Amino acid sequence: MGVPHLDSGPMRAEEFFAFTATRPDDEKWELIEGEPVLNASASFLHQIIASNLIVSLGRFARETDAIWAVAPGIGVRISPLSIPVPDVLVRPQTATGAECDDMIIAFEILSPSTADNDLRWKRKAYASLPSLPQYVVIAHDALEVVSFDRANGFAERFETAESELDLPVIGACMNLREIYRGTGLL
């Protein structure tokens, strides 16, 4: 019979989706340069911040009859070997499916295990998507938000507790107090 041979090459998108289809729904997997990565369970503060983003942006979308929608947990096909999953994203309202390549804004909420990846690899990967004009990174343990905008070459723009997060592509501004409501950090 011999020893079975396993292909140790990088995993491709189709293999990744077949693999994740066999995994429990509560697991969050990403494909990063051909390697499947299981993310740690999100903290309570992380989930509160994600909920605040979804509720605030969802309310704004309804009030303005937006042509975009806000959603969590959708993979973004950067390449055949990379499918990160932003914590929250904004994409065209007519879009469907468990993955996309047309997001308008990506939000990542930092955690100790993902901070380096979110600030380095994802910033570069998301900047490579022509459809993405803005990437926002939110600290889960401090009132700190940094925005990267295509309009200024994805240079960092830091927001403070007194400022508002400008989301010009959807015509919205978010007070950081909205983002951090219920976290105990205000």
Q: Which structure tokens are listed for 85?
A: 């999953």
Q: Mean pLDDT of all residues in the chain?
A: 89
Query: Which of the two residues, 17 and 119, has the higher pLDDT score?
Result: 17
Would you give the DSSP letter of residue 82?
Answer: B
Mean pLDDT confidence for 114-119: 82
Residue in 170, 164, 166, 180 with CA at minimum distance from that of residue 69: 170
Q: Phi first, then psi: give them for residue 165, nearest 5 degrees.
A: -80, 115
Q: Phi first, then psi: give them for residue 63, nearest 5 degrees.
A: -65, -25
pTM: 0.90
b vs e for 27-38, b when ≥16 Cβ sit within 10 Å of the residue's Cβ?
Answer: ebbbbbebeeee
Q: Does the pLDDT value for residue 66 go beyond 60? A: yes
Mean pLDDT confidence for 9-28: 91
* Tens digits of residue pLDDT in 148-181: 999 888 888 888 777 889 999 999 999 999 999 9
What percent of the chain clears pLDDT 90, i.e. is strictly above it? 66
Distance CA 171, CA 128 (A): 23
Distance CA 174, CA 178 (A): 7
Mean pLDDT confidence for 58-64: 95
What is the reported pLDDT for 174? 93
What is the reported pLDDT for 182? 95
What is the reported pLDDT for 177? 92
Query: Which of the two residues, 98 and 69, has the higher pLDDT score?
Result: 69
Strands of the chain (E only): list them: 29-32, 35-38, 68-72, 75-76, 88-92, 99-100, 105-109, 134-138, 145-149, 156-159, 164-167, 172-175
* Tens digits of residue pLDDT in 94-112: 877 778 888 999 999 998 7
* Tens digits of residue pLDDT in 75-87: 999 999 999 999 9
What is the reported pLDDT for 4? 57
The helix (run of H) or strand (run of E) holding residue 170 is none
CA torsion through residues 44, 46, 47, 48, sign: positive
Beta carbons of 167 and 157 less than 8 angstroms apart: no
Mean pLDDT confidence for 35-61: 93
Beta carbons of 68 and 92 less than 8 angstroms apart: yes
Classify 118 as helix, strand or coil.
Answer: helix
What is the reported pLDDT for 155? 86
Place of tokens 């989301």: 167
Classify 74 as helix, strand or coil.
Answer: coil
